[in-house]
């Protein structure tokens, strides 16, 4: 699996701060860091050709700065590029894809099987 490593200009208190999103397959999550400091993650599990996103969190220190959206956008982009179908079990990811239709072509509905896979991974 190819790791994603995106440098994103973060909407942070200091304009020189940079956010980086990378996939950590062995931990089954995407991590966002700001200037090298862990800021949050988007957890997933793979089931067949689906990547099921079941949890997203941003550390309080970095809240309200748009990082969750940057993280989810990068994670969904990477998963789609890897040929995965996207399943938004996580409420934040579900809300994101309802507002941003960039991923409609790769989005699968949440099914009981996807929920069970997410619960087993959690």
- Give the domain ranges of the chain: 5-121
* C-alpha span between 69 and 45 (Å, rounded): 19
Q: What is the pLDDT of residue 9?
A: 44
What pLDDT shows up at residue 18?
A: 86
Give the pair of three-digit tokens for residue 50: 């689906």
Residues of the chain with pLDDT under 70: 1-17
Give dist(CA 85, CA 52) in Å, integer.
Answer: 8
Q: In what order do the strands lie in the sheet with 29-34?
A: 5-9, 18-24, 29-34, 37-47, 50-58, 85-88, 107-108
* CATH number for the domain whose boundaries are 5-121: 3.40.630.30
What pLDDT does residue 38 have?
96
Collapse the DSSP code of 110 into the 3-class scheme (helix H, G, I; strand E, B; otherwise coil) and give the result.
coil
Q: What is the pTM of this model?
A: 0.86
């Amino acid at each position: 699996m190819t790791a994603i490593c995106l440098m994103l200009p973060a909407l942070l208190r200091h304009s020189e701060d940079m956010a980086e999103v990378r996939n950590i397959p062995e931990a089954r999550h995407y991590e966002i860091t700001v200037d090298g400091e862990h800021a949050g993650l988007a957890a997933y599990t793979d089931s067949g050709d689906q990547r099921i996103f079941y949890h997203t969190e941003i550390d309080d220190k970095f809240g309200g700065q748009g990082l969750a959206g940057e993280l989810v956008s990068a994670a969904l982009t990477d998963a789609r590029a890897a040929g995965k179908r996207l399943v938004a079990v996580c409420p934040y990811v579900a809300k994101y894809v309802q507002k941003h239709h960039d991923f409609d072509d790769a989005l699968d509905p949440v099914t009981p099987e996807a929920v069970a896979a997410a619960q087993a991974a959690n």
